[in-house]
Amino acid sequence: MGGRKTLAYSIILATMLVIGFIAPVNAVELNTILGTTDSAAKPSFQFVRTYIVEYPNGGEIKNMLDGKNVSMTLHMDQFASIKKSIVKNLNSEIIGNLKSAANITDVDITYEATLYPSDTESRIDYKVTFIPTVSNYVLRKATGDSAAILDTQWRGLTVQYPILVDVQNYGQFDINSPASFIKKQFPDLYSKLQGTNAQNLFEIPLMSSNDLMSDPISKWQHLFDPAYTIVDTNVLGYQGQKIVISTYATGESNISEGTMFPTVKNSDMKLDVDYPVSYTERSSTASIQIDGYVAVADINGIEYFGSSPQAPTGSGINSTGNYSAQVIYSMAAFAVVIAVGIFWWSSRVSKNARNRQNEPAGPSGPIQYETRKHWADRFDDEK
């Protein structure tokens, strides 16, 4: 086992040396493990954004923020009234816009915001960790020579609406709006922000995975490990035996894909002096691990994972990383049935959404901090 861990760490180190040192800050960072025999998965979406308000010549904004290093963290896992409303809206999104056969049964959200002032600027960092429970993503389990079929559309989960909670001593708070932190913690700054060019920058929702939908999975980097053993294999439906794990990943700068540049938007606040304002989001990244030999099939513009426990021969995975025509046609026949059901339900959801009134927000949870973990940390758990 120690040899495998050494090899894993060596691969990770070699990858870092090739791609260089990339700051781990992204618009969205998706990490998940999908089991072909499981009924649900808990992918982790992290939405990260940084705003900078500059005051190189001083001014009232510098005086307002000088010395005020302020943080705010909310964790809302335990409040059913909030989760019920969020789950309902997410299922409308996943069916109506993403045309996915999966559904959301639960959700956990951690919100973090911090302002760091300095002599010439103030930086505001936001991070929202969003962990939905995705059920029914396995559309068909593997049987004999037939590959398991997995839904991929859920990866584009996006929240464009306010997520309102009642925070003690603060009142109503929208964790999906950058402006809400400023409004509650720095009301004087918020009043100055109103009506300026920079106001729109702070009204862009934090939780969006659109980048992952614009990047076809068939173009993601992928590889498989034929001798992979996981100590805690309950999440994949196994009991510690050796299994094949396929990994699909995107968003990292490398020799073949080139450099991934951040998104930077600039504006200003013209008050007593001109205050340049900008926000930065790094390129989105994703890592999806699935048991079995996995390839991607595009059927009528919708991509599906196909996973087989055995390396296919003849009609299996070809050198391009896609399934052959025989397997694709088999998957297409099954996908047609799924698509009909999705489009019918999508129409029904859209009609209901037009008639649905806004639901009241529930109370927030106690403020606490939850340490972020990277997917590679699981190698340490094997020690």
CA distances from 73 to 114, 118, 125, 206, 369 (A): 9, 22, 12, 15, 6
Say whether pLDDT at 361 is over 90: no
User: Which of the pair, 322 or 341, is modelled with greater confidence?
Assistant: 341
Closest C-alpha to 287, from 323, 257, 251, 261? 251
Torsion sign across C-alpha atoms 82, 84, 87, 91 = negative
User: Higher confidence at residue 130 or residue 381?
Assistant: 130
The pLDDT of residue 356: 52
Task: Give percent above pLDDT 70 in the chain.
Answer: 67
Per-residue pLDDT at 185: 93
Return the structure tokens found at 27. 């618009």
The dihedral of CA 226, 230, 236, 239: what is its sign?
Answer: positive
Strands 263-270 and 138-140: unpaired
In the structure encoding, which two tokens stand for residue 202, read together?
């702070």
Q: Which helix (H) or strand (E) holds 264?
A: strand 263-270
- Sequence-distant (≥ 6) Cβ neighbours of residue 315 within 8 angstroms: 145, 324, 326, 327
Q: With contact defined as beta carbons under 8 Å apart, do 280 and 49 qualify?
A: yes
Residue predicted with more confidence, 5 or 31 = 31
State whether residue 135 is helix, strand or coil.
strand
Write out pLDDT tens, residues 33-88: 999 988 899 999 999 999 999 999 999 999 999 999 999 999 876 566 788 889 99
Closest CA to 177 of 126, 114, 109: 126
pLDDT (0 to 100) of residue 367? 40
pLDDT mean over 159-182 = 88
pLDDT for position 239 = 61
Q: Which domain holds residue 263?
A: 2-382
Number of compact structural domains in the chain: 1
- What's the average model confidence in pLDDT over 249-270? 75
E strand map for 98-215:
103-117, 121-135, 138-140, 148-151, 164-167, 171-174
pLDDT at residue 339, rounded to an integer: 56
Is 112 in a helix, a strand, or coil?
Answer: strand
Q: In whole angstroms, what is the distance from residue 192 CA to residue 63 CA?
A: 13
| pLDDT value for 198 | 94
Contact 83, 107 (CB under 8 A): yes
What pLDDT, in 10s, does the model give residues 130-170?
999 999 999 998 887 788 999 999 999 888 889 988 887 77
> Could you report the per-residue pLDDT of 317-332, keeping only the tens digit for each?
443 344 444 444 455 5
Contact predicate 269/275, CB 8 Å: yes
Top mean-pLDDT range of 246-250, 318-322, 345-349: 246-250
Mean pLDDT of 237-246: 71
Q: Which amino acid is at 315?
A: S
- Please say if the pLDDT value at position 117 is more than 90: yes
What digits encode the pLDDT tens for the residues 268-321?
999 999 999 999 887 889 999 998 889 898 888 899 999 988 775 543 444 334
The predicted structure's pLDDT at residue 104:
94
Burial of 269 (0-12, 13-18, 19+ CB in 10 A): buried
Contact 295, 322 (CB under 8 A): yes
Quickly tell me which residue has 């086992």 as its tokens. 1
Query: Has residue 181 got a pLDDT over 70?
Result: yes
Start-end of H helices in the chain: 2-19, 60-65, 80-96, 178-185, 187-193, 210-214, 325-355
pLDDT of amino acid 19: 31
**Helix (DSSP H) and strand (DSSP E) numbers for the chain:** 7, 17
| Verdict on whether the full-model pTM lies above 0.85 | no
What confidence category does residue 171 fall into, taking pLDDT thresholds of 50, 70 and 90?
A: confident
pLDDT, the chain, mean: 76
| Residue 321: per-residue pLDDT | 46
Give the Cα separation of 62 and 40 in Å (integer). Answer: 49
Whether pLDDT at 221 is above 50 = yes
How many whole angstroms separate alpha carbon 127 and alpha carbon 27? 9
So what's the pLDDT on residue 230? 52
Q: What is the pLDDT of residue 9?
A: 37
Give the per-residue pLDDT at 345: 56
Per the model's pLDDT, the better-predicted residue between 73 and 238 turns out to be 73
The pLDDT of residue 196 is above 60: yes
Residue 22 has pLDDT above 60, yes or no: no
- Residue for token pair 């090899």: 7
Output the pLDDT for position 266. 92
